[in-house]
């Protein structure tokens, strides 16, 4: 073996091989053999923030392993890359630094593309685009119009966060502790007209489709199923308790109706008179627990329920301020104030659910459907959501925790009606914890003695018989509001005309392009402030009209980009139908688990919409056949004594103390958390590439942690990865035997046969690890093969074969090093084009196996037996083992369990 070993130099080697791949158009799907089976590998495309971060490196390194592995396995692989380029950060930059969002975004893309290319990913850059390219969002506008034509788009009033100081809409992220993040003003909810995608049209299909996604993580399917939230229950009406009669306000000739109002509550008769429509005949509620109707203690309606709005006198006040303004007092005013209090909670589900329970007793009462003479009070409550069910519930405090909290706070009765097994009906009390489990119904009239399930059926049947309601299916899923009052997004192609209403922009007039001359000096939507952009003639009657100034939610951009990747950058349609239909669904999609619900559900909606508009031939409607969700990249946080965050690059260890390098201040190491700019615990991948090369960075992010789990970046870990690359290099440079590494060393015996066996067993383990997204175990196996080769002294065909296996196995992880090594040992062509190694089955079996022997479940010895030994023989050998005999002294053997190929357990006492 040669003693002269030159050091592997990534800084010259990596650009060389990247140029070789590019010259060979190795990753250009159009250049690949079209007769091969196709494979679409895709990672969630990045937002162009300006710098690539370790999370990107990890995500794309994983995708690259799959893409390169599948290519080696004989697939024609499509592995594209693009940019999710619309969004708020660009507008924030414009506002804070005076840079135009467009320039900022495209500069960021350029700044990120370069290091991504230096990482040597097997990406088809010929298909690159950004969602802010006019060509792309033009087609998105066409899709919007097609969806509208298909009945998948409508307009609806929805709530937004309103900053009364900036006079603008804020994202949830921009609301901190209920206040605007810039203005500090208390945020109110405000209703605005919004464009909405009818995702609920596919609620059932989206739920059913989950069952077919057997290559998705179980947890993601569970989360989506829970998000869609199908529940069967009862829609029913509680009839009003009637005593006094008021004239209807809007049309006195209509039949009159009335309410019972508790003493002490005095509504203006006109307020009650205004309550019309469905409310007239009773209050409609939805429940999944009709079995507990006898435990009803109150009715609660949302503060946005039409009844609550009516009772607050709001509509009358809005319509006839001069007439009713001066009468605005008393209970109407109190309800109005209560509604304002509720509207300050915020629009997020979390804020609503964690807020203190607030209620307002309206004084109105409804009749219990089953109990003659019993009435229930109607409350307005802040925990009831208008967006789910009917916006009204009946409260059964004994068997619902939220209802119980509410009842305890307002001192409402808590009648128990479900008796848990083993409890006594006469003494049972729920205390502070509602009982939601199975049990037997009691105190429940005709339902007494029934189980929860039977009680639900019986109660629904009875209500249906009484014609008070019907069994129904509800979904938690809400339609997708897509209007955003922002500039840096895809303009919604609609024109408003006083005569014709909301008119779609004719397809020939697309794109509706964003104007470049916009100002970010005033808060709010720059498109709205633009002096001329929105003024256009109505496409239908040519009278002066106004453009929609809202843009689409950026989630729309990422809901169909994969189809554009597959179907080409067509200018006359969103993508080529035949091409896109050929590649889709994506065979393997990889991204962060934070997208488990929204992005993935929206994309599943879009592909169904595209299918039903005839744009895509995808019967299942499923865009992603395989999904993998990776964990985050984390790093320890460093802080000095003043609590100031310190970059890891500025921390050194001296005499067991952590100090800043520049000023020598003492630093403490804090939690290991997700890398973020604000905590300064980021590692710049570009620094790592410069110091160690792309291969080492890639190898390290894949080596230690299971891909699904969070990955902790440590400085020592990178050094280990660096050393490993040197070890492989040394193995190759030390080998003098040259030839075709694809040849099998069939005549090997002794040590040479052992190394062959080791290498072939390693192939299976490495392959299994890649297939199952357990790259860390593939890496461990590669380490073992490397160690075995280091120990193996022969310089012969067996060594060359094993090296050929090793190099092809590391190629998906460290492709540049693999190419360099491949060329050195005599491999033909690019290692990228070399076939994935295949294990020779005859080298995988062993004649003898070593089995542990337990006595009473504790390991006492080890025996070596022929692989095909019978159970009886194994038992005999085990019973004779020296240590086992010693342990069994004075004990009686009761039972011997032999698990072939696994273990022997002797039970003795």
Partner RNA sequence: GCGGGUGUGGCGGAAUUGGUAGACGCGCUGGAUUCAAAAUCCAGUUCCUCUGGAGUGUCGGUUCGAGUCCGACCACCCGUACCA
- Count CB atoms within 10 A of the CB of residue 227: 16
The smaller minimum CB distance to RNA, of residues 235 and 705, is found at 705
The smaller minimum CB distance to RNA, of residues 319 and 856, is found at 856
Residue 891 interacts with RNA (CB under 7 A): yes or no: no
Residue 682 interacts with RNA (CB under 7 A): yes or no: no
Residues 726-785 that bind RNA (CB under 7 A): 726-727, 730, 765, 768, 772, 774, 776-777, 779-780, 783-784
The smaller minimum CB distance to RNA, of residues 396 and 632, is found at 632
Q: Minimum distance between the CB of residue 859 and RNA, rounded to whole angstroms? A: 4
**H or E element: which one contains 790?**
helix 775-791
DSSP E strands in 702-856: the ranges are 711-712, 848-855
Stretches 87-95, 119-127, 304-312, 827-835: which one binds RNA (CB under 7 A)? Answer: 87-95
Pick from 110, 134, 171, 644 the residue near RNA by CB under 7 A. 171
Pairing status of strand 627-630 against strand 633-640: unpaired
Q: How far is CA 657 from the centre of its chain?
A: 40
What does the block give as tokens for 886? 């010693």
Q: Say how far apart CA 760 and CA 765 lie, in whole Å.
A: 9
Q: Say how far apart CA 171 and CA 486 lie, in whole Å.
A: 10
Residue 179 interacts with RNA (CB under 7 A): yes or no: no
Residue of 627, 715, 718 whose CA lies nearest to 669: 715
Q: Minimum distance between the CB of residue 678 and RNA, rounded to whole angstroms? A: 12
Q: How far is CA 572 from the centre of its chain?
A: 32
Residue 529 interacts with RNA (CB under 7 A): yes or no: no
**H or E element: which one contains 116?**
helix 101-118
Q: Say how far apart CA 495 and CA 509 lie, in whole Å.
A: 12
Q: Minimum distance between the CB of residue 543 and RNA, rounded to whole angstroms? A: 28
The smaller minimum CB distance to RNA, of residues 214 and 322, is found at 214
Residues 590-619 that bind RNA (CB under 7 A): 592-599
Residue 515 interacts with RNA (CB under 7 A): yes or no: no
Pick from 423, 528, 710, 795 the residue near RNA by CB under 7 A. 710
Query: How many residues are there in the chain?
Result: 909
Residue 269 interacts with RNA (CB under 7 A): yes or no: no
Pick from 673, 824, 843, 879 the residue near RNA by CB under 7 A. 673
The smaller minimum CB distance to RNA, of residues 83 and 249, is found at 83
Q: Say how far apart CA 530 and CA 801 lie, in whole Å.
A: 69
The Cα-based distances of 51 to 47, 133, 488, 632, 830 in angstroms read: 10, 20, 20, 17, 31
Pick from 43, 64, 84, 819 the residue near RNA by CB under 7 A. 84
The Cα-based distances of 582 to 618, 622, 682 in angstroms read: 9, 14, 40
Q: Say how far apart CA 295 and CA 298 lie, in whole Å.
A: 9
Residue 223 interacts with RNA (CB under 7 A): yes or no: yes
Q: Minimum distance between the CB of residue 685 and RNA, rounded to whole angstroms? A: 17
The smaller minimum CB distance to RNA, of residues 132 and 376, is found at 132
The helix/strand/coil state of 398 is helix
Q: How far is CA 851 from the centre of its chain?
A: 44
Residues 533-592 that bind RNA (CB under 7 A): 553-555, 592
Residue 156 interacts with RNA (CB under 7 A): yes or no: no
Q: Could you tell me if 456 and 438 are in contact, meaning their C-beta atoms sit under 8 angstroms apart?
A: no
Residues 279-308 that bind RNA (CB under 7 A): none
Pairing status of strand 494-497 against strand 188-197: unpaired
Q: Could you tell me if 592 and 54 are in contact, meaning their C-beta atoms sit under 8 angstroms apart?
A: no
Pick from 126, 231, 375, 401 the residue near RNA by CB under 7 A. 401
Q: Minimum distance between the CB of residue 812 and RNA, rounded to whole angstroms? A: 17
Residues 314-373 that bind RNA (CB under 7 A): 347-350, 353-354
Stretches 177-185, 224-232, 313-321, 818-826: which one binds RNA (CB under 7 A)? Answer: 224-232
Question: Exposed e or buried b for every residue in 414-429, given b needs 16+ CB within 10 A?
Answer: bbbbbbeeebeeeebe
Q: Minimum distance between the CB of residue 719 and RNA, rounded to whole angstroms? A: 5
Q: Minimum distance between the CB of residue 107 and RNA, rounded to whole angstroms? A: 17
Residue 51 interacts with RNA (CB under 7 A): yes or no: no
Q: Minimum distance between the CB of residue 213 and RNA, rounded to whole angstroms? A: 15
Q: Say how far apart CA 432 and CA 421 lie, in whole Å.
A: 19
Q: Could you tell me if 240 and 278 are in contact, meaning their C-beta atoms sit under 8 angstroms apart?
A: no
Which strands form 283-287's sheet, in the order they lie side by side? 283-287, 231-238, 469-474
Residue 532 interacts with RNA (CB under 7 A): yes or no: no
Q: Say how far apart CA 514 and CA 535 lie, in whole Å.
A: 14
Pick from 81, 132, 418, 632 the residue near RNA by CB under 7 A. 632
Q: Could you tell me if 785 and 758 are in contact, meaning their C-beta atoms sit under 8 angstroms apart?
A: yes
Residues 180-199 that bind RNA (CB under 7 A): 192, 194
Stretches 133-141, 530-538, 610-618, 893-901: which one binds RNA (CB under 7 A)? Answer: 893-901
Q: How far is CA 617 from the centre of its chain?
A: 26
Q: Say how far apart CA 248 and CA 313 lie, in whole Å.
A: 14
Residues 464-483 that bind RNA (CB under 7 A): 476-478, 480-481, 483
Q: Minimum distance between the CB of residue 736 and RNA, rounded to whole angstroms? A: 17
Residues 368-397 that bind RNA (CB under 7 A): none
Q: Minimum distance between the CB of residue 483 and RNA, rounded to whole angstroms? A: 6
Q: What x-and-dash track marks residues 841-870 binding RNA by CB under 7 A?
A: ---------x-x-x-xxxx--x--------
Residue 499 interacts with RNA (CB under 7 A): yes or no: no
Stretches 220-228, 278-286, 410-418, 805-813: which one binds RNA (CB under 7 A)? Answer: 220-228
Count Cα neighbours of 904 within 13 Å in the Cβ-side half-sphere.
Answer: 27
Q: Could you tell me if 19 and 26 are in contact, meaning their C-beta atoms sit under 8 angstroms apart?
A: no
The smaller minimum CB distance to RNA, of residues 175 and 293, is found at 175
The smaller minimum CB distance to RNA, of residues 782 and 830, is found at 782
Residue 431 interacts with RNA (CB under 7 A): yes or no: no
Q: Minimum distance between the CB of residue 7 and RNA, rounded to whole angstroms? A: 8
Pick from 315, 712, 751, 875 the residue near RNA by CB under 7 A. 712
Q: Say how far apart CA 424 and CA 440 lie, in whole Å.
A: 11
Partners of 441 in the β-ladder: 418
Backbone angles phi, psi at 281, to 5 degrees: -90, 0
Q: Minimum distance between the CB of residue 388 and RNA, rounded to whole angstroms? A: 7
The smaller minimum CB distance to RNA, of residues 272 and 675, is found at 675
Q: How far apart are the first and last CA of the chain?
A: 60
Q: Minimum distance between the CB of residue 695 and RNA, rounded to whole angstroms? A: 15
Q: Minimum distance between the CB of residue 207 and RNA, rounded to whole angstroms? A: 13
Q: Minimum distance between the CB of residue 751 and RNA, rounded to whole angstroms? A: 14
The smaller minimum CB distance to RNA, of residues 555 and 813, is found at 555
Q: Minimum distance between the CB of residue 87 and RNA, rounded to whole angstroms? A: 3
Residue 789 interacts with RNA (CB under 7 A): yes or no: no
Residue 258, C-beta contacts closer than 8 angstroms, at least 6 positions apart: 240, 242, 243, 244, 245, 246, 272
Q: Say how far apart CA 530 and CA 223 lie, in whole Å.
A: 42
């Amino acid at each position: 073996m040669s003693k002269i070993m030159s050091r592997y130099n990534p800084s010259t080697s990596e650009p060389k091989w990247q140029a070789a791949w590019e010259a060979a158009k190795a990753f250009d799907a159009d250049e690949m053999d079209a007769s091969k089976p196709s494979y679409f590998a895709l990672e969630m495309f990045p937002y162009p923030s300006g710098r690539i971060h370790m999370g990107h490196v990890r995500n794309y390194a994983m995708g690259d392993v799959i893409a390169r592995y599948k290519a080696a396995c004989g697939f024609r692989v499509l592995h594209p890359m693009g940019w999710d380029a619309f969004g708020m950060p660009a507008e924030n930059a414009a506002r804070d630094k005076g840079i135009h969002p467009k320039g900022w975004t495209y500069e960021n893309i350029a700044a990120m593309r370069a290091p991504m290319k230096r990482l040597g990913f097997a990406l088809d850059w010929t298909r690159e685009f950004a969602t802010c390219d006019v060509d792309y969002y033009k087609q998105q506008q066409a899709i919007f119009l097609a969806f509208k034509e298909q009945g998948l788009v409508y307009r609806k009033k929805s709530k937004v966060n309103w900053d009364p100081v900036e006079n603008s809409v804020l994202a949830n992220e921009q609301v901190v502790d209920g206040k605007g993040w810039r203005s500090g003003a208390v945020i109110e909810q405000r209703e605005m007209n919004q464009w909405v995608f009818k995702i609920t049209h596919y609620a059932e299909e989206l739920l059913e489709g989950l069952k077919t996604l057997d290559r998705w993580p179980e947890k993601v399917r569970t989360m989506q199923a829970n998000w869609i939230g199908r529940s069967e229950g009862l829609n029913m009406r509680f009839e009003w308790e009637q005593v006094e009669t008021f004239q209807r306000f809007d049309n006195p000739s209509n039949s009159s109706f009335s309410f019972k109002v508790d003493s002490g509550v005095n509504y203006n008769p006109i307020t009650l008179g205004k309550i019309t429509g469905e409310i007239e005949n009773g209050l409609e509620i939805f429940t999944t627990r009709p079995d507990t109707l006898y435990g009803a203690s109150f009715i609660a309606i949302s503060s946005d329920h039409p009844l609550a709005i009516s009772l607050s006198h709001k509509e009358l006040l809005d319509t006839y301020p001069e007439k009713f303004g001066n009468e605005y007092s008393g209970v109407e005013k109190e309800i109005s104030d209560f509604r304002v209090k509720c509207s300050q909670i915020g629009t997020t589900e979390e804020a609503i659910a964690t807020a203190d329970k607030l209620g307002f007793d309206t004084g109105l009462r409804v009749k219990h459907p089953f109990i003659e003479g019993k009435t229930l009070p109607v409350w307005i409550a802040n925990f009831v959501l208008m967006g789910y069910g009917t916006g009204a519930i009946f409260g059964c405090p004994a068997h619902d925790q939220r209802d119980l909290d509410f009842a305890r706070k307002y001192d409402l009765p808590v009648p128990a009606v479900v008796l848990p097994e083993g409890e006594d009906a006469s003494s049972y009390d729920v205390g502070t914890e509602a009982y939601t489990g199975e049990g037997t119904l009691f105190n429940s009239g005709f339902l007494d003695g029934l189980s929860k399930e039977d009680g639900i059926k019986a109660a629904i049947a009875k209500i249906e018989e009484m014609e008070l309601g019907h069994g129904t299916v509800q979904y938690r899923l809400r339609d997708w509001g897509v209007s955003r009052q922002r500039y840096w997004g895809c303009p919604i192609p609609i024109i408003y005309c006083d005569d014709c209403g909301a008119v779609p922009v004719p397809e020939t007039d697309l794109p509706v392009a964003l104007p470049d001359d916009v100002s970010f000096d005033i808060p709010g939507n720059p498109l709205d402030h633009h002096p001329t952009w929105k003024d256009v003639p109505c496409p239908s009657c040519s009278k002066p009209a106004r453009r929609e100034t809202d843009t689409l939610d950026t989630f729309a951009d990422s809901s169909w980009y994969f189809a554009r990747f597959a179907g080409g950058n067509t200018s006359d349609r969103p993508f080529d139908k035949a091409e896109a239909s050929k590649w889709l669904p994506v065979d393997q999609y990889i991204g962060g688990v934070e997208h488990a619900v929204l992005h993935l559900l929206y994309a599943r909606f879009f592909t169904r919409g595209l299918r039903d508009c005839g744009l895509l031939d995808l019967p299942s409607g499923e865009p992603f056949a395989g999904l993998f969700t990776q964990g985050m990249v984390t790093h320890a946080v460093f802080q000095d004594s003043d609590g100031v965050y310190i970059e890891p690059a500025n921390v050194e260890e001296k005499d067991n103390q952590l100090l800043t390098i520049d000023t020598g201040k003492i630093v403490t190491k804090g939690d290991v958390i997700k890398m973020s700019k604000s905590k300064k615990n980021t590692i710049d991948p570009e620094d790592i590439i410069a110091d160690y090369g792309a291969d080492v960075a890639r190898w390290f992010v894949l080596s230690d942690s299971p891909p699904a789990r969070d990955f902790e970046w440590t400085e020592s870990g990178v050094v280990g990865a660096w050393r490993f690359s040197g070890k492989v290099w040394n193995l190759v440079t030390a080998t003098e035997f040259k030839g075709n590494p694809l040849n099998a060393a069939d005549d090997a015996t002794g040590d040479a046969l052992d190394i062959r066996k080791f290498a072939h067993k390693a192939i299976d383990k490495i392959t299994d690890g890649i297939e199952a997204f357990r790259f860390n175990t593939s890496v461990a196996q590669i380490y073992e093969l490397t160690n075995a080769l280091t120990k193996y002294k022969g310089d012969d065909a067996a060594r060359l074969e094993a090296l050929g296996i090793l190099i092809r196995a590391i190629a998906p992880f460290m492709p540049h090093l693999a190419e360099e090594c491949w060329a050195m040992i005599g491999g033909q062509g690019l290692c990228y084009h070399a076939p994935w190694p295949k294990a020779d089955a005859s080298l995988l079996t062993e004649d003898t196996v070593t089995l542990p022997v337990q006595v009473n479940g504790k390991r006492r010895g080890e025996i070596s037996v022929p692989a095909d030994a019978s159970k009886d023989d194994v038992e005999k050998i085990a019973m004779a083992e020296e240590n086992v005999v010693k342990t069994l002294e004075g004990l009686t053997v009761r039972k011997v369990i032999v698990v072939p190929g696994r273990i022997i357990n002797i039970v003795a006492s």
